[in-house]
Amino acid sequence: MQAAEVTKSPRKSANLSIDSALLQEAKALGINVSRSAEAGIAEAVKLHKQEKWLKENARALASSNAYVEANSLPLERHRQF
């Protein structure tokens, strides 16, 4: 999920516990902590969804891979690479 997609939704306040030294350093560097946290959470959601999809589809992927291994790719003879 890209940051541009995240900002289209309405924003909601949330309380987060963040390492105080890290927060102080981020503020000193002019980092928008809310946006950075949001980007990190968006990345974590994306990775979680990917892992979940792979687990849910593991049997289908294994079956497809086994078919290709046993029978090669359909239309492989037409490949030019």
Whole-structure pTM value: 0.70
What is the C-alpha separation between 15 and 51, in angstroms, rounded?
27
Tokens representing 68 are 């290709």
pLDDT at res. 56: 98
What is the C-alpha separation between 24 and 16, in angstroms, rounded?
14
Place of tokens 């239309």: 75
Q: Which of 34, 14, 13 is nearest to 23 (CA)?
A: 34
pLDDT at res. 43: 98
- What are the tens digits of pLDDT across the range 2-50? 554 555 789 999 999 999 999 999 999 999 999 999 999 999 999 999 9
